[in-house]
Structure 1
Amino acid sequence: MAAAGLLLAGGARAAETDWPAFGHDPSNRNFSELTQIDRSSVARLRPAWMFQSGVTGYFQAQPVMIDGTLYLSTTQNNVAALDARTGRVLWTYTHRPRTEKIFGPPSNRGVAVSGGLVYQATMDGRVIALDAKTGRIVWDREAVRPEEGESETASGLADKLGGKPVQGSSRLGFKMPPLVADGSVIVGVTGAGYGLHIEDEAGGLDGGAVVGIEGGYGRRGWLAAYDARTGEERWRWYVTPSEGWEGGFVERTADGVPLHRDIAAEKAAAPANREAWRVGGGSLWMTPAYDPALGLIFLGTGNPAPQNFGLSRPGDNLYTMCLVALDVKTGALRWYYQQVPHDEWGYDVAAPPFLLDMPGGAKAVASASKTGWIYVHDRATGKLLERSAPLVEQKNLFAPPTPQGTVVAPGPLGAVSWPPTAYDGRRAYVQVRHGATTYTVKTVPAAGGRPEIRYTETGEAKGEPSFSTLTAVDLAAGGTIAWSVRGASRLSGGTLATAGGLVFSGEEDGHFDAHDADTGRILWRFQCGAGISGPAMTYALDGRQYVAVAAGGASFTKASGFGTGDALVVFALPE
């Protein structure tokens, strides 16, 4: 085990030298107490070993390291167990999907390891347990039925929408690393909230335009718990309720921002759309945080369907666009906070929530948002305790799409999307996208017995700036911005903070950077050869600290000109 004096001021505990779960632990803080790599030593950081999966593209996973073995899921849901000291392959699992028709790029964001089993939720809708020593399948649960993985073709629309195939993005599957809590493996589906989209040449969403056509083209998002030993389903919580999903037709967000809704038009449309909840969307993008003392899990929910076009789903569309707290034993809803009622902009609550203690001792949960704020809530009640200063310049926020085109900032990629936030006990470190999008309502005229179809198209906002920052938010001082540093290219993958005074952050162009946690200044960077698309992690073995990150590009790299890759790059100080 690690030589504690080299790693921690005050000595290391075994659990701190491992990285046993996504986000490091159920708090989702992406923070490590390890200190061997610090401000004074990071300049000497070098690659220690590299693992190449052999499958190129969209490598977004954060590894897990327990007792000297590093477990990693790769593109297309393959899994590898590696010697965490050398990268030597101990075993591999090759996934054989039931269908090639999946939602979006073939990315996967990590595994969970507990009780001698490695758990993975797959793109083709399965939850799988592997033996941690051999990679043998212990159980394989079909969580999504095969027909739920099929796309829907919108016949007769191709000519009107650029001559490209128009497909339903309602192909349910999984992206998130599972959470193992209270004897359950907990995971939620993606692909529920997209209505229809124009396919790109590769058949994915990369470069394709989401068009948000009105009508019943979505799916109903859900989160489920499976028995960790047997795979039997214990409970399932649906994002869209059968009763009350319209909510109160509110005119402002819960924190007081005007929504500019046409409430009269929505209420007039309500009688014809009473069943909209059945296809109401609400994808679940990332791993919940977990408080064992309260018995609660905390997760963010995605956009309603159809995306960006709301008249065929009148009301607040509960419980989409929410931070929710569920009972870990039953899945019962304890509380919710809806960041964006009746969303028309794609502002999913996508980033994983994280737990923190506020000044004065309040137990809190925080959520970094696409709208450009970090929200902090009381864990037990959901009461809003704090909203940070804006992380971006907001423009026409919540202005509805129009036939003339409405420019809104931020756009559907955020401010803050799915990559995780790191929190060191005082500051949250978050990758922030600055940019605007034009939302345009379009109409396909009635023809051949088919009624008129309306949809919202998202596009470039010409003349608007587009860049990324790594931003530090002081949550112990009212959510003020401590510092913000502009990236040379788009930042991606999320952040890792350590007690060595460092924040690690990846870039689309392949650079992996270490920043001073007090100032944001870059102290070290390394070109990994492909875009950084997964969150970094750190661990220690035999007195040596390592930092690992996946370099596989991301779904936006094709359009930007940067390539994809297949490498997990692991760094350490020279011996």
Structure 2
Amino acid sequence: MKLYRIYILLLVTSILQQACNSNESQDQYSHWSMVNGNYTGNKYSSLAQIDTGNVKQLQVAWTYHTGDADTAAHSQIQCNPIVVNGIMYAVSPKLKLLALDAATGKPRWVFLPYDTTAENNKLNFNLNNNRGVAYWSDGKEDKRLFYVVGEFIYAVDAGTGKRITGFGKEGKVDLHEGLGEQAAGLFVSATSAPTVYKDLLLTGTRVSEGMDAAPGHIRAFDVRTGQMKWIFHTIPQPGEPGYETWEDKDAWKMTGGANNWMGMTIDRERGIAYAPTGSAAMDFYGGKRLGANLYADCLLALDAATGKLRWHFQYIHHDTWDYDPSSAPVLLTVTHNGKKIDAVAQTTKTGFVFIFNRDTGEPLFPVVETPVDTSDALHGEKLWPTQPIPQKPAPFVRQSFLEKDINPYLLPEELDEVKKQLQSYRTGKMFMPGSLQGTVVLPGFDGGGEWGGPAVDPETGMLYVNASEMAWILKMEEVKKKESRSENYLQAGQRLYQQHCTACHGKEMKGGGNYPSILGMDKKYNQASLIEFINKGQRMMPAFSHLKNEEKKAIASVVLNLKNEYQRKFEIQQTAADIFRELPYRFTGYDKFLTKTGKPALAPPWGTLTAIDLNTGGHLWKTVLGEDPVFKEMGVKETGTENYGGPVVTKTGLLFIAATKDSKFRAFNKSNGQLLWETTLPAPGFATPAMYEVNGKQFIVIACGGGKLGTASGDAYVAFALP
């Protein structure tokens, strides 16, 4: 009898423990206290008030206007807000940190990271996009928020909105810290929120993508003091593993990039930080960084406490297409070959999904090193002969452009135009070298899975990813060496503009892709204010403070058409870094493959949403995401649009997503992709929603910042709830 009672006691204890564990697991999905929802990064909510049966009843619960949208500057809000103890923390277009009552949208406080008394605020800080903030608490009175403005991580008291002056220097840490002399004066910032692990703040950076890029080393700082605790060199230095993958043994001294700009995901139980890295600089020509280039284009599994490498996987060897992974990975558990395996999954710009064993880095589905076309590479280039191709899941976007893929809704003259252009370009498959005639890149530079990242249902192992499908043109041109360095301001300004500005703003300053025209800048700026703008940067434009003052004056003289400056003699002393940065080719610009009237050359859909079973690697469903207004007027439905920002998936069968150019916010049935609800936002929601509960009421909120894809800028956070 005594043994029987002991057995019953143990059984009850076991059941209670399982229930407790289940509740803990469930609880992490019932709030939105960190970017991407919870520590797995899966953007999943277990809240059950809104479901497939009542989602059509959703209505606006509150709207908060930040009041600082800047249409002229194409301002945006890409922030995925967080909610802690009923307070929402978010960021405005001009990077004010906001604390709002999450039930009403009423402001509690606003933190300004810059001097509001200055004559021109927008020149006092770097208007980079910011995708979120991090929260840390000691469990008592110390509650902190961390976010990045310009080159600084700020620490702000979550209760008062005041800067915590004991962190770093007067409440901020310079992101140049620990990067060495190589990074001095170079652009270093961050768009993704830092990640908290215990009492550490882990962060990557955003750096330039040209030859003036700082190294993208990953670091951890003490959350209380701001002191750097460890650093992982993403471009290995002598004596470190991976150093042998760079043919030039001094490349680490000059080469930049390989940066974790997309954020990371930390397995709290294992103490492992899974951090993807970007391409090495410059993006489209690797003649000065020959080799496989570890640890660029990798998934790194780092010991979160020490920064030591546990394992790595390289997605692209010697990247010359800017095909770096574009979002933080997702943690989940799948059933694979009859066994439960803790896995980490990564979506990519190429449209591939990679899934690995979290402990070992072993791919769960075969990945084959596949020969690729390296013929006719640019002089001095040495492309890698193979690239890793996962055999499952199948790609979630198209990866080649042939004549059969031309947009059938073009006018006859537009069809002829596109056919002639296509015949002149290199096309037909992925990983073709960049070329002087132009190479079609599909998925494009912003194609496949973008920075919003996927959502994953932890109960089913189903991954949901939104994607853009748009062809771009990768074209290079030769840079003629000058026999003489004797130049005037006009000659130097034209040369420097081509070297530093053409890729984004085009030869004729008309812009391209998501980059604006800079024609007419003389109406807004004089030489002094434009140089200040060059020093600070704005949005997608990095700061160019490393340029010498005479170089900035020469660029300003050309951009502002200061003819009285043109004949001034231009003289500077070149450094070793200046000589290293000179390339035999330059990238001509971020140009989509469009007709003269701006219509896509590629057939629709241009935006999609796909459900993929990560247990089997099979696709469950795929649907079009968004409607292009131009083609909608022509009677063409289901075109999809390019999209930025991720989805949220719920336990109750829903998938919410904004992200599209058409300003819609939509809810789909996660089981079959059926559209259940949509509403029009005040501006496109190029961000990831957040789902939370306050006082028993469930909300979903989305930042409506617009500003991309030619849309007007907005300044609103809009929350929805049932009546």
Q: TM-score, normalised by structure 2?
A: 0.66
1:179 and 2:195 correspond: yes
What is the distance in 1 between the residues matched to 2:206 and 2:618?
30
Determine the structure 2 residue equivalent to 1:411.
444
Q: CA deviation at 1:414?
A: 2.4
1:389 and 2:394 correspond: yes
Whether the aligned pair in 2 keeps the contact of 1:371 and 1:415 (CA below 8 Å) is: yes
1:367 and 2:340 correspond: no
Whether the aligned pair in 1 keeps the contact of 2:626 and 2:661 (CA below 8 Å) is: no
Q: CA deviation at 1:248?
A: 5.3
SS where residue 207 of structure 2 aligns? coil
Change (3 A) 1:119 1:479: farther
Whether the aligned pair in 1 keeps the contact of 2:173 and 2:226 (CA below 8 Å) is: no
Determine the structure 2 residue equivalent to 1:259.
none
Change (3 A) 1:169 1:573: farther
Q: Which has the higher strand share?
A: 1
Determine the structure 2 residue equivalent to 1:62.
80
Instruction: Give deviations 1:505-556, integer Å, cap 9, x for gaps.
Output: 11222111111101112111111111111110101122211001100014x3
Determine the structure 1 residue equivalent to 2:230.
235
Whether the aligned pair in 1 keeps the contact of 2:237 and 2:243 (CA below 8 Å) is: no
1:485 and 2:624 correspond: yes
Q: CA deviation at 1:441?
A: 2.1
What is the distance in 2 between the residues matched to 1:16 and 1:310?
43
Q: Which residue of 526, 536, 558 maps to 2:689?
A: 536
Alignment length (residue pairs)? 504
Q: CA deviation at 1:300?
A: 1.0
SS where residue 526 of structure 1 aligns? strand
1:443 and 2:582 correspond: no
What is the distance in 2 between the residues matched to 1:280 and 1:479?
38
SS where residue 491 of structure 1 aligns? coil
Whether the aligned pair in 2 keeps the contact of 1:351 and 1:418 (CA below 8 Å) is: yes
Q: Which structure has the bigger radius of gyration?
A: 2
Paired residue type of 1:565: G
Q: CA deviation at 1:123?
A: 3.4
Whether the aligned pair in 2 keeps the contact of 1:282 and 1:320 (CA below 8 Å) is: yes
SS where residue 679 of structure 2 aligns? strand
Whether the aligned pair in 1 keeps the contact of 2:52 and 2:653 (CA below 8 Å) is: yes
Whether the aligned pair in 1 keeps the contact of 2:610 and 2:622 (CA below 8 Å) is: yes
Taking only aligned residues, the RMSD between alpha carbons, in angstroms, comes to 2.9
SS where residue 43 of structure 1 aligns? helix
Q: CA deviation at 1:485?
A: 2.7
Q: CA deviation at 1:10?
A: 9.6
Whether the aligned pair in 1 keeps the contact of 2:255 and 2:289 (CA below 8 Å) is: no
SS where residue 175 of structure 1 aligns? coil
Change (3 A) 1:491 1:181: same
Determine the structure 2 residue equivalent to 1:143.
174
Determine the structure 2 residue equivalent to 1:107.
129
What is the distance in 2 between the residues matched to 1:236 and 1:99?
32
Determine the structure 1 residue equivalent to 2:63.
50
More displaced 10-residue stretch of structure 1: 351-360 or 221-230: 221-230
Whether the aligned pair in 1 keeps the contact of 2:470 and 2:642 (CA below 8 Å) is: no
1:133 and 2:159 correspond: yes
What is the distance in 2 between the residues matched to 1:448 and 1:16?
64
What is the distance in 2 between the residues matched to 1:10 and 1:26?
16
Paired residue type of 2:363: L
Determine the structure 2 residue equivalent to 1:464.
602
Paired residue type of 2:154: I
Change (3 A) 1:144 1:14: closer
What are the ranges of 5 or more consecutive residues in structure 1 without an aligned counterpart? 1-8, 153-167, 196-215, 250-269
Change (3 A) 1:47 1:11: farther
What is the distance in 2 between the residues matched to 1:132 and 1:350?
29
Determine the structure 2 residue equivalent to 1:566.
715
1:73-222 equivalent positions in 2, closer than 5 A: 73-96=91-114, 100=123, 106-115=128-137, 116-138=142-164, 139=167, 140-145=171-176, 171-192=187-208, 194-195=209-210, 216-222=211-217
Change (3 A) 1:394 1:313: same
Q: CA deviation at 1:278?
A: 3.4
Instruction: Give deviations 1:281-300, integer Å, cap 9, x for gaps.
Output: 12322231111221101011
What is the distance in 2 between the residues matched to 1:544 and 1:475?
32
What is the distance in 2 between the residues matched to 1:440 and 1:100?
33
Q: Which residue of 522, 534, 538 maps to 2:675?
A: 522
Determine the structure 1 residue equivalent to 2:646.
494
What is the distance in 1 between the residues matched to 2:78 and 2:296?
25
1:236-255 equivalent positions in 2, closer than 5 A: 236-243=231-238, 245=242
Determine the structure 1 residue equivalent to 2:613.
474
Q: CA deviation at 1:11?
A: 12
SS where residue 254 of structure 2 aligns? helix
SS where residue 647 of structure 2 aligns? strand
Whether the aligned pair in 2 keeps the contact of 1:437 and 1:459 (CA below 8 Å) is: yes
Q: Which residue of 32, 35, 40 maps to 1:22?
A: 35
What is the distance in 1 between the residues matched to 2:195 and 2:177?
24
Change (3 A) 1:123 1:479: farther
Q: Which residue of 432, 454, 471 maps to 2:585?
A: 454
